[in-house]
Chains A and B, each alone.
Chain A
Amino acid sequence: MLKCEHLVKKYLTTTAVADLSIELESGKIYALLGPNGSGKSTLMKMISGLSKPSSGTITLNGQKLNYKSKAQIAYMPTEAYFFSYMTCMDIGDYYKDFFADFDYDKYMALLSEMDLEPKQKAREMSSGMMAKLKIAVTLSRNAKIIMLDEPLNGIDIIARDKIINTIISNINDDMAVVISSHLVDELEKIVDYAIFIKKGKCILSGEAEELRESQGKSIVNMYKEIYA
């Protein structure tokens, strides 16, 4: 469905992504793994159209990405990204205005599930509440590609399972879901496919089960071995 071929993203003095090629198919959950600065967020931002590749191509169903493709791609950045005046309701209205696949009722239900008040201002939220809000608004879209950048950041250990369950129960087989996280053990149990990124390059990727069998270890242990 989505194909990245020989993607390169160079900044003035650094190369964030170096000749990276991956392919995403619907119905799968992808774990994008790597330490800080490995290029995970840059890759997601390029797919979402927020960052432009220095070279290489990204295609969605055979078409090169353009601004219209953004209608089919839901991206949750790791940072808070709402306008300072916005309440949860304002954010829902914004998404409703711009994304035809946004389900406002589902958003309200998710806010309630996450114990968030619709009239609460986003800028006044704690990091945990902000993380929940970002997940709620992103999962309320019925996009072809869902990308969650560090969705468990700021979420306490008790709430993590709830977030993971919310993610699982709000995706479907038409979607390809990409999740990046340092908390690999939390992802181990839910991912179908793992992509290990180091210094902007994909150094190992494959079906999670096949990787476990071929490498003879868990994804967590592979992560430790690669990045230790």
Chain B
Amino acid sequence: MLKMLKYEWRKNILSLLIVLGVYAALQIYFLIATYGTKSYGNTAIAGTLLMLVAMFSYVFVLLYGIISYNADLKNKSGYLVFMAPVSSFKILGAKLLSTLITGIAIVAVIVGLAFWDFSIVRDVFNVDAYISFGNELLGALGSSLSIWDITIRIIFIIFSSLISFYMTVTVGYLSVSISATLLQNKKGKGFLSVLLFIIILAVVLVIEYFMPDTKITAGMSFAELCLNDLPSLLLELFVTIAAFIGSGIMLDKKISL
């Protein structure tokens, strides 16, 4: 799988460079706005754009992961991938891992730059008043929080975000696989894939809505809040595994390039 991952990563590097290129351009604009014009308004605009791109990059990485799988089934370069004596599950696993690594690389750069940008703003503009207000607010909240609660909540948020991300990607794989199986060499596979993708995710959301959950009450610890989200998380985990296995089986038994 690691060998396949190497080639997946090499193919996906373009997506990483596109996102980082856009982000670098905005970062330059941010620096010019902050140091050049010393205008708080311009800096705020640049900062907002940077945040928007950061959010967009999540969607981009996710969609690129699905599009890359679709391209392998659609384009002749897929022959190179699927003629290798590697199991379908390892090929899909390599694709998932490659998408994750791309995502982590982008998040690392964005978070690193966000800290840097924040320190720049702090140096150039007088924002200590806002910071002290935030600290007071956190301090007030902190009185009811334990380190244990916060740690559990952070781990849970990271884990659940990861599951949600993977569920979306694997549902994308499943939609593309079903579409390729049903329509084979006919046109309209892209449209059917998108339609299936939306339907499957909508069904998951509906099931999540009707799932039993604990009522949130005042004074609930973060650990209890995590327990509240657990049924949804388990459902997403189940959908992720089922979509992964379903896609692998269809690749093995049904899909023809």
Q: Which residues of A contact B (CB under 8 A)?
A: 9, 11-12, 45, 48-52, 67-71, 75, 77, 79-85, 94, 97-99
Chain B residues lying within 8 Å of A52, measured Cβ to Cβ, are: 253-256
Listed in ascending order, the chain B residues whose CB lies under 8 Å from chain A are: 3, 6-7, 10-11, 76-80, 82-88, 183-186, 252-257
Residue numbers in A under 8 Å from B186 (CB-CB): 11-12
In Å, the complex CA distance between A98 and B252 comes to: 18
Using A81-B79, A81-B80, A82-B77 as known contacts, say yes or no to A12 and B85 having CB atoms under 8 A apart. no
A85–B6 Cα gap in the complex (Å)? Answer: 14
Instruction: List B contacts of A12 (CB < 8 A).
Output: 183-186
Cross-chain pairs A/B with CB under 8 angstroms, 26 sampled: A11-B184, A12-B184, A12-B185, A12-B186, A49-B82, A49-B83, A50-B79, A50-B82, A50-B83, A50-B256, A52-B255, A67-B85, A67-B86, A67-B252, A75-B79, A79-B76, A79-B79, A81-B77, A82-B80, A83-B11, A83-B77, A83-B80, A97-B3, A97-B7, A98-B84, A99-B84
Nearest CB of chain A from residue B8's CB, rounded to whole Å: 10
How many CB-defined contacts (below 8 Å) exist between A and B? 68
Contact in complex: B257, A50 (CB < 8 Å): yes
Choice from A70, A80, A94 contacting B7 with Cβ under 8 Å? A94
Contact present for B79 and A67 (CB under 8 Å): no
Task: Identify B85's interface contact among A9, A71, A85, CB under 8 A.
Answer: A71
B91: nearest residue on chain A (CB-CB)?
Answer: A67
Chain B residues within an 8 Å CB radius of A48: 83
- What residue in chain A is nearest B181 (Cβ atoms)? A52
Are B7 and A83 in touch, CB under 8 angstroms? yes
Q: Decide if A68 touches B76 in the complex (CB within 8 Å).
A: no
User: Shortest Cβ distance from B63 into chain A, in angstroms?
Assistant: 19
